[in-house]
């Protein structure tokens, strides 16, 4: 065989190609093998040369190979950890998010510009919820809700009151998470009986849009999946809707504002929204009941209701309701890292099912729209570091995005950033569910109240955001969680636009202030400032940022039952004197809770400020707006618009907290006065509180009237309008 050139062992192996040189330009490390290819045997000299060469090569190959292998393994481990955590700085994100605009770090406004006009047709309204205001919890065929059980109301012998954890003997015991023990929704603001008073109040405010919810247990007392609804419940809501429309007020109706029929939650047999199969996966046990309920509502009320909301704040009624303060908060659904995500999954599928029913059977003929309302407080990065920016973004994505992404996102699924952090702990939608969810809303309902700083942490926390909030420097309301910053709402609206670009309605926004008396409550200057700052930032989002906001609803029309916090917390733009006393159906202590019968309503300054804003559809300076009218405004002569020709005289005494009414009313069989057959009206004594006049002898019961700047008269709760004779 010909002579072979062997590279001496001392010189090692040919060099590998550098990163700057291609393999074609590098020495071929396999060239040696090519020279021996096809040889049948080796000479003794060749074997001797091989015996000298190979041991040296093996000594070098082994340590280098092991080192390379270990390096690859370590690199792979680091890569896997990085992928799982989304990077050390921006956990969950493929790319670190940018600092949220429109305000750059450190440029937050300290003052606001209260000028500018809202778009034509902008919707202004206020809102309430059934359990917070209706009362009449044992009347009209209503069944037990999970909030009746949570508060410790006497539910014995009520429809649905025999669940596995329901009260078995009185006095019933409230849930451990109920802060204001003794408070219930048994009576609340008594709006089931005083709804005409509430409508008169709305008319005096010039209100044209009112958001409220239907109580599922009032339509189906035990949440039945078949059969006819409770006729009394359907009749009451139809009457209420008719009178709203007659007053020129458009209803915005929420189908579920947390008052689940108790009969659908009786573990272990019935798990409500928290139902799962033997493998722990969400299962729609409640879906047939829900579909029957919403179908019935669409059929029964859809000719009157043109705007539907499927769920109000599903985050609150799943995350907080799984052991963090809201009903039901019961075992075995108290695992914050598991149970809320089961309930949320079932609730999102229920939302999609409701929309499918409405769009398929009713929307075309009834001409309405349907959406969902989610809630989010703004989370501002505490610093402009990548870590804090990412943490703040996670906080919003893992709450608002959790319930919005499947509906308004591109894929009908949870945010990918959320899946990156939660992994397999987050339930999976089927392809059919994704298809049904995607696009299942005609508008984006947004509840917003508070703003806080958000900073990154190494611990995941109860919400897996790897962050923590703080509120240094913000003004706090009566509620311990509520801190005001109008610019936070503008930033949140921009966030929604960037992520989804939908039509938006701000469906709740409000400020709590404690008060012991009507006089104290009426002077709610900080609430006036809150509404001024927040509404002007809504206008800036519309005009300067191009956000498609179509409406704004203040929370709330009335002071009301503030869930586990009871009645001391007051969000109303109108004060309510709950006529406190004994409620034998409430848990102990029950001697200073709302009672049935007459309850005073009195407008606060914030109500009058909002009225001027929505009557003019433009911003008003909060410090330049007069407060609500003083009692002396009632002094004078009136004509009764509803009884033509009839005259009324209101005399206001000094001090202006009382007076009398006199005048004329139609004679027998007549609906108007003719100065011949007229009958004397009164005199009847009245009491006056701000812009509210109460006549206790005008009819069989007490009657409330409210001064109306729009009609320059008194809107009475029997539908009468007395216009002042100037």
Q: What percent of the chain has pLDDT over 70?
A: 87
CA dist 323 and 128 (Å) reads 24
Residue 580 has pLDDT above 80, yes or no: yes
For tokens 């893992």, the residue is: 398
For 152-203, the pLDDT digits (tens) are: 999 999 999 999 999 999 999 999 999 999 999 999 999 999 999 999 999 9
Identified catalytic residue from 134, 313, 380, 393? 313
Look up 471 and say whether it is catalytic: no
The predicted structure's pLDDT at residue 697 = 81
For 528-548, the pLDDT digits (tens) are: 999 999 999 999 999 999 999
Residue 33 has pLDDT above 50, yes or no: no
CA dist 614 and 254 (Å) reads 23
665 beta partners: 679
Cis-peptide into 611, omega within 30 deg: no
Q: Helix (H, G, I), strand (E, B), or coil: what is residue 145?
A: strand
* 667-674 long-range Cβ contacts below 8 angstroms, 24+ apart: 671/643, 671/644, 672/643, 672/644, 672/645, 672/646, 673/643, 673/644, 673/645, 673/646, 673/647, 674/645
Count of residues making up the chain: 726
- Does the domain at residues 123-624 carry the CATH identifier 3.40.190.10? no
Look up 313 and say whether it is catalytic: yes
Identified catalytic residue from 508, 537, 611, 715? 508
Residue 539 backbone dihedrals phi, psi, to 5 degrees: -65, -40
For 614-671, the pLDDT digits (tens) are: 999 999 999 876 678 999 999 999 999 999 999 999 999 999 999 999 999 999 999 9
Handedness of CA 96, 101, 467, 343 (dihedral sign): negative
Q: Give the closest residue to 241 by CA, choosing from 309, 310, 303.
A: 303
Domain range summary for the chain, segments of one domain joined by +: 9-79, 123-624, 631-724
Q: Give the closest residue to 402 by CA, choosing from 328, 343, 451, 356.
A: 343
For 543-557, the pLDDT digits (tens) are: 999 999 999 999 999
123 beta partners: 551
CA dist 686 and 716 (Å) reads 13
Q: What percent of the chain has pLDDT over 90?
A: 86
- Mean pLDDT along residues 499-514: 98
* Tokens matching residue 48: 């001797």
Query: pLDDT band at 702, cuts 50/70/90?
Result: confident
* Tokens matching residue 447: 């509840």
CB 160 within 8 A of CB 261: yes
- Mean pLDDT along residues 109-122: 97
Residue 421 has pLDDT above 50, yes or no: yes
Q: Give the closest residue to 252 by CA, choosing from 691, 552, 608.
A: 552
Residue 423 has pLDDT above 60, yes or no: yes
More confident residue, 43 or 129: 129
């Amino acid at each position: 065989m010909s002579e072979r050139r062997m590279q001496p062992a001392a010189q090692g192996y040919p060099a590998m190609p550098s990163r700057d040189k291609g393999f074609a330009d590098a020495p071929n490390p396999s060239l040696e093998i090519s020279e021996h290819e096809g040889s049948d045997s080796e000479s003794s000299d060749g074997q001797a040369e091989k015996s000298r060469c190979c041991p040296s090569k093996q000594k070098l190959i082994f340590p280098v190979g092991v080192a390379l292998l270990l390096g690859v393994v370590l690199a792979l481990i680091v890569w896997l950890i990085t992928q799982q955590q989304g990077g050390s700085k921006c956990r969950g994100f493929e790319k670190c998010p940018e600092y949220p605009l429109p305000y750059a770090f450190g440029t937050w406004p300290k003052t606001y510009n209260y000028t500018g006009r809202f778009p034509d047709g902008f919707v202004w309204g206020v809102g309430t919820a059934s359990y917070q205001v209706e009362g009449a919890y044992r009347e009209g065929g209503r069944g037990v809700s999970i909030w009746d059980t949570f508060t410790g109301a006497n539910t014995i012998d009520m429809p649905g009151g025999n669940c596995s954890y329901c009260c078995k003997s009185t006095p019933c015991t409230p849930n451990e998470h109920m802060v204001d023990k003794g408070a219930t929704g048994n009576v609340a603001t008594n709006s089931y009986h005083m709804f005409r008073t509430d409508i008169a109040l709305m008319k005096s405010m010039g209100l044209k849009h009112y958001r409220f919810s239907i109580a599922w247990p009032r339509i189906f007392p035990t949440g039945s999946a078949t059969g006819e609804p409770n006729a009394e419940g359907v009749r009451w809501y139809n009457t209420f809707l008719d009178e709203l429309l007659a007053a020129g007020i458009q209803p915005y109706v929420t189908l579920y504002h947390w008052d689940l029929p108790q009969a659908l939650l009786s573990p272990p047999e019935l798990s409500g929204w928290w139902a799962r199969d033997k493998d722990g996966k969400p299962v729609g046990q409640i879906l047939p009941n829900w579909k029957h309920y919403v179908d019935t509502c669409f059929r029964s009320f859809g000719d009157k209701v043109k705007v539907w909301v499927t769920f109000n704040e599903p985050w609150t009624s799943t995350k907080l309701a799984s052991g963090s303060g809201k009903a039901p908060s019961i075992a075995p659904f108290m695992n914050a890292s598991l149970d809320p995500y089961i309930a949320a999954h079932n609730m999102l599928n229920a939302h999609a099912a409701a929309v499918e029913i409405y769009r398929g059977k009713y929307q075309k003929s009834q001409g309405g729209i349907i959406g969902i309302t989610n809630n989010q407080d703004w989370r501002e990065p505490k610093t402009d570091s990548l870590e804090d920016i990412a943490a703040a973004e996670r906080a919003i994505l893992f709450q608002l995005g959790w319930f919005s992404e499947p509906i308004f996102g591109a894929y009908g699924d949870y945010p990918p950033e959320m899946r990156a952090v939660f992994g397999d702990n987050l339930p999976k939608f089927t392809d059919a569910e994704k298809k049904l969810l995607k696009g299942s809303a005609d508008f984006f309902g947004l509840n917003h109240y508070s703003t806080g700083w958000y900073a990154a942490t190494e611990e995941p926390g109860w919400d897996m955001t790897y962050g923590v909030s703080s509120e240094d420097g913000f003004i706090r309301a009566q509620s311990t969680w509520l801190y005001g910053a109008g610019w936070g709402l503008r930033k949140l609206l921009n966030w929604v636009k960037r992520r989804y670009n939908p039509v938006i309605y701000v469906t709740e926004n409000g400020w709590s202030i404690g008060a012991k008396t009507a006089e104290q409550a009426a002077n709610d200057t900080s609430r006036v400032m809150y509404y001024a700052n927040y509404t002007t930032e809504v206008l800036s989002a519309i005009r300067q940022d191009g956000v498609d906001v179509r409406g704004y609803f203040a929370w709330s029309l009335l002071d009301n039952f503030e869930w586990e916090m009871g009645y001391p917390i007051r969000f109303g733009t109108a004060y309510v004197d709950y006529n406190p006393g004994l409620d034998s159906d409430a848990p102990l202590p029950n001697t200073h809770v709302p009672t049935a019968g007459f309850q005073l309503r009195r407008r606060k300054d914030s109500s009058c400020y909002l009225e001027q804003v929505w009557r003019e559809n433009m911003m008003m300076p909060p410090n330049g707006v007069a407060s609500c009218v003083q009692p002396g405004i009632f002094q004078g002569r009136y004509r009764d618009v509803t009884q033509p020709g009839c005259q009324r005289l209101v005399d206001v005494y000094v001090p202006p907290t009382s007076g009398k009414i006199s005048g004329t009313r139609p004679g027998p069989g007549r609906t108007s006065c003719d100065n011949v057959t007229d009958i004397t009206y009164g005199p009847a004594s009245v009491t006056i509180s701000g812009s509210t006049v109460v006549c206790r002898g005008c009819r069989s019961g007490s009657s409330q009237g409210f001064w109306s700047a729009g009609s320059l008269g008194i809107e009475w709760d029997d539908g009468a309008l007395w216009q002042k004779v100037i």
